[in-house]
């Protein structure tokens, strides 16, 4: 089955700086890669996703890049703000596996004011 590795497990940045989280996946058939933000005591919230036919996607301060050959994808947050502090999860899925999501281990991001 699919295995998703996520790094780093914790990330501390100064407000205004950029944050980058990286994930690798094992199943070359995976074709959908969402990123979720989870605040304490709440459910995950979809913040951005990318499909395998696209190499990069951007939404305001958030961008995701995908390298299918290397089987890795990354989340980039620019101009970080204290409200960006949360746990971020990457995930991967493919249609053949019923579109079930396999999650990375999560990255705890702390933005220091």
Partner 1 sequence: GAVVSQHPSRVICKSGTSVKIECRSLDFQATTMFWYRQFPKQSLMLMATSNEGSKATYEQGVEKDKFLINHASLTLSTLTVTSAHPEDSSFYICSARDSVGVQETQYFGPGTRLLVL
88: contact with partner 1 by CB under 8 A: no
Between vectors from CA 63 to CA 6 and to CA 28, what angle results, nearest 5°?
Answer: 50
Q: Which helix (H) or strand (E) holds 63?
A: strand 62-67
Residue 110 engages partner 1 in binding (rule: CB under 8 A): no
7 binds partner 1 (CB under 8 A): no
Q: Of 3, 12, 28, 45, which one interacts with partner 1 (CB under 8 A)? A: 45
Q: Would you count residue 24 as binding partner 1 (CB under 8 A)?
A: no
The residue among 10 and 18 lying less far from partner 1, judged by its C-beta, is 10
Measured at the CA of 27, the angle between CA 54 and CA 84, to 5 degrees, comes to 55
Spatial distance between the Cα atoms of 18 and 88, rounded to a whole number of angstroms: 15
Q: Which residues bind partner 1 (CB under 8 A)?
A: 32, 34, 36, 41-46, 49, 51, 89, 93, 95, 98-106
């Amino acid at each position: 089955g699919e295995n998703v590795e996520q790094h780093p497990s914790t990330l501390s940045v100064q407000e205004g700086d950029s944050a980058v989280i990286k994930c690798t996946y094992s199943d070359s058939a995976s074709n959908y890669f969402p990123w979720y933000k989870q605040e304490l005591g709440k459910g995950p919230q979809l913040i951005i996703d990318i499909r395998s036919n696209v190499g990069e996607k951007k939404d305001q301060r958030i961008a995701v890049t995908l390298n299918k050959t290397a089987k890795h994808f990354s989340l980039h947050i620019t101009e970080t703000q204290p409200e960006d502090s949360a746990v971020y999860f990457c995930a991967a899925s493919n249609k053949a596996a019923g579109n079930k999501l396999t999650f990375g281990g999560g990255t705890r991001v702390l933005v220091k004011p």
